[in-house]
Amino acid sequence: YDRPNPTKLLMRFSMRFNLTFRYGVIVHREMRQQYGDSVRASVIYVSADRISPGVVRSKSNARVVLDGNSQITQHLQPVQQALSNPVVTAFLSENIELDLWRKYLFLCSFSAMNTLTEKPLENLLNDPYVKELWIGYMKEITSIAQSENVQLTEKDVEAAMSNAEKF
């Protein structure tokens, strides 16, 4: 990913915030060191299926989670309101680091299982061996998060599996 060049370009403009929707669990911190406090972590959840090349079908409304740090909440409330509409729900998070890791928990473990088995979600959930392996990956990610002082727990693993079963 080419994150430095777009960020340099954007930072020329007078902006209150640069929201990092797609860069993982630590890049916002690295970018903030270089570009200052205007860089804020954010998360977007979109559930969709690729029907065919170039054709994507949304399976649910999108959910956007913005850094709701108490020092910037008042400035991000207008952004939250602007993003909220009938197909997007925006929230201000009290703990954006935890929210980033929750998305990482599902996305990385699912991507690994999907790549390893070449099975769609339903088949992963219906194979007891594969499902147990998937849960094991999530527990490993939980341990990594905890080593980074992020309080991801077994309940987050259970919630991720419960959400997966809804699709």
What pLDDT, in 10s, does the model give residues 74-102? 888 888 999 899 889 999 999 999 999 99
pLDDT average, residue stretch 11-31: 72
Using alpha carbons, select from 87, 71, 80 the residue that is nearest to residue 42.
80
What whole-number distance in Å separates Cα of residue 55 and Cα of residue 120?
17
Q: What does the pLDDT read at residue 142? A: 97
DSSP string covering 20-73, please? ESSSTTTHHHHHHHHH-TTEEEEEEE--EEEEETTEEEE-S-EEEEEE--TTTH
Residue 89's beta-bridge partner residues? 63
Determine contact, residues 75/17, Cβ cutoff 8 Å. Answer: yes
User: Per-residue confidence at 52, pLDDT binned at 50, 70, 90?
Assistant: confident
Determine contact, residues 140/156, Cβ cutoff 8 Å. Answer: no
